[in-house]
C-alpha cells in the first residue's frame, strides 16, 4: 500500500477525532511534553499551537521527541514496507556522521538507488539528499550554538572543507561567528508559502539561505526570531521567489537548482 501523508489540516482533524484510520500515515508531536503519538492516541488532546507533524517516527525522534508509551506510535507503521525502508534509511544517515551517496545507501539497504529515492520521497515528502543535508546543517548549528570551535563544529557535522561553510552555498547564510552571535548585524528577509507538507517559511541573507521550517505562520515567525535574535528581520515576499521554488522542489523530491545558495 502506498504511504501518503495528508496535509496538516487533515492531520489535525484526525487527531481531534482520534481517527484510527489515520494511524500509520503520520505521527504528531507535542512541544510542551516532548512526546509524539499516533493519531488515535487516547491521551488528552493538545492545543494546536503546540503540535507539529512528522511523516515517520524516525523524523520525530531526530527532532528530539520520544515515543508515547501509551499509544506506541511506532507499532502503527511496522506493517508498511515503505515506511520500514525509509526509517532504516533515516537512521543510517543519522548514524553516518558524513553524507552517504544514494548508491551507497541503497546498497547497504539492499535496494536500487532509484527505488530508494522514490520510496523515501513518497513517505517523507523530501528527497534523501535534502534529508541528509538538513541533518548535516542541523548538527553544525547545534554545535555552534553550544560553543564548539568552528573547525570542530564543521568536521563534526560532516563538512569536509572549510570553504563549504564560508562560500555562498553555506547552510548558515552568514559566517559561523555571526551565526553564533544570533545573526548580529545581518538583515534577513523571509516569506512563507504552501507546500505538500504544510506552510513553509524561507529566510535568507544577501549571502544565501539561512532558515527553512514547516509549521504555522505565527509559530514560524517566533522560531525565526529565536534562531536569529540579534538580526534585523523583514518580510520579503517578492525577493525570495527563486529560493522558495527551490525549497518546494526539494520538498517534492526534485534536484535543486545548483546555481542557488541552497544547502
**Residues 165, 56 within the same domain:** no
Tell me, what CATH number does 40's domain have?
3.40.10.10
Residues 134 and 234 in one domain: yes
Number of domains within the chain: 2
pTM: 0.60
Active-site residue flag, 90: no
Position 15 in a domain: yes
222 and 161 within one domain: yes
The pLDDT of residue 254 is 46
Q: Which of 14, 27, 29, 37 is catalytic?
A: 37
Of all residues in the chain, the percent with pLDDT exceeding 90 is 31
CA 172, CA 158: separation in Å to the nearest integer?
A: 15
Q: Which residues make Cβ contacts (< 8 Å) with residue 244, sequence separation at least 6?
A: 191, 193, 200, 202
**Same domain assignment for residues 244 and 136:** yes
Per residue in 55-104, pLDDT (tens digit) is 888 778 877 789 999 999 988 877 778 888 988 898 888 887 667 889 99
85's enclosing H/E stretch is helix 81-96
pLDDT for 3 equals 43
Query: For residue range 114-156, what is the model confidence (pLDDT) as tens digits?
Result: 999 998 887 777 788 888 888 888 888 888 888 777 778 877 7
Question: For the segment 198-230, what is each residue's pLDDT rounded down to a tens digit?
Answer: 678 899 998 888 888 877 777 788 889 999 999
> In terms of residue numbers, what domain contains 44?
8-76
Based on the fold, state whether residues 56 and 145 are members of the same structural domain: no
Which residues pair with residue 211 across a beta bridge?
Answer: 203
Residue 220 lies in a domain: yes
Q: Cα(240)–Cα(204) distance, rounded to whole angstroms?
A: 8
User: End-to-end alpha-carbon separation of the chain, Å?
Assistant: 32
Residue 123 domain-assigned (yes or no): no
CATH number at residue 229: 3.30.160.70
Catalytic choice (41, 209, 212, 244): 41
Could you tell me which residues come within 8 angstroms of residue 177 by beta carbon, excluding any fewer than 6 positions away? Answer: 150
| Residue 210 annotated in active site | no
Interhelix angle for 81-96 vs 128-145, to 10°?
Answer: 40
Assign 165 a pLDDT band (cuts: 50, 70, 90).
low
Q: What is the pLDDT of residues 167-178, one digit of tens each?
A: 655 678 888 889
Q: List the catalytic residue out of 14, 68, 90, 204.
A: 68
Domain-terminating residue out of 76, 95, 114: 76
Residue-averaged pLDDT of the chain: 82
Domain C-terminal end among 50, 76, 102: 76
Whether 186 has a pLDDT exceeding 50, the answer reads yes
User: Considering 14, 35, 58, 71, which one is annotated as catalytic?
Assistant: 71
Residue 138 lies in a domain: yes
Amino acid at each position: 500500500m502506498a504511504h501518503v501523508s495528508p496535509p496538516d489540516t487533515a492531520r489535525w482533524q484526525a487527531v481531534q477525532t482520534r481517527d484510527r484510520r489515520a494511524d500509520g500515515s503520520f505521527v504528531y508531536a507535542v512541544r510542551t511534553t516532548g512526546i509524539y503519538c499516533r493519531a488515535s492516541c487516547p491521551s488528552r488532546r493538545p492545543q494546536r499551537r503546540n503540535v507539529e507533524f512528522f511523516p515517520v517516527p524516525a523524523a520525530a525522534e531526530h527532532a528530539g521527541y520520544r515515543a508515547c508509551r501509551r499509544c506506541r506510535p511506532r507499532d502503527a507503521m511496522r506493517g508498511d514496507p515503505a515506511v520500514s525502508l525509509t526509517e532504516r534509511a533515516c537512521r543510517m544517515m543519522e548514524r553516518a556522521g558524513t553524507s552517504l551517496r544514494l548508491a551507497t545507501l541503497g546498497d547497504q539497504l539492499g535496494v536500487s538507488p532509484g527505488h530508494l529515492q522514490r520510496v523515501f520521497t513518497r513517505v517523507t515528502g523530501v528527497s534523501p539528499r535534502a534529508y541528509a543535508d538538513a541533518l548535516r546543517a542541523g548538527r553544525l548549528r547545534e554545535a555552534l550554538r553550544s560553543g564548539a570551535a568552528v573547525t570542530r563544529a564543521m568536521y563534526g557535522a560532516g563538512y569536509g572543507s572549510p570553504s563549504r561553510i564560508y562560500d555562498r552555498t553555506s547552510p548558515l547564510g552568514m559566517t559561523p561567528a555571526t551565526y553564533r552571535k544570533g545573526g548580529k548585524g545581518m538583515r534577513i528577509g523571509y516569506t512563507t508559502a504552501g507546500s505538500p507538507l504544510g506552510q513553509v517559511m524561507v529566510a535568507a541573507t544577501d549571502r544565501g539561505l539561512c532558515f527553512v521550517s514547516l509549521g504555522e505562520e505565527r509559530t514560524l515567525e517566533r522560531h525565526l526570531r529565536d534562531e536569529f535574535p540579534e538580526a534585523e528581520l523583514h518580510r520579503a515576499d517578492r525577493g525570495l521567489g527563486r529560493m522558495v521554488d527551490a525549497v518546494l522542489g526539494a520538498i517534492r523530491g526534485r534536484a535543486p537548482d545548483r546555481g542557488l545558495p541552497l544547502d
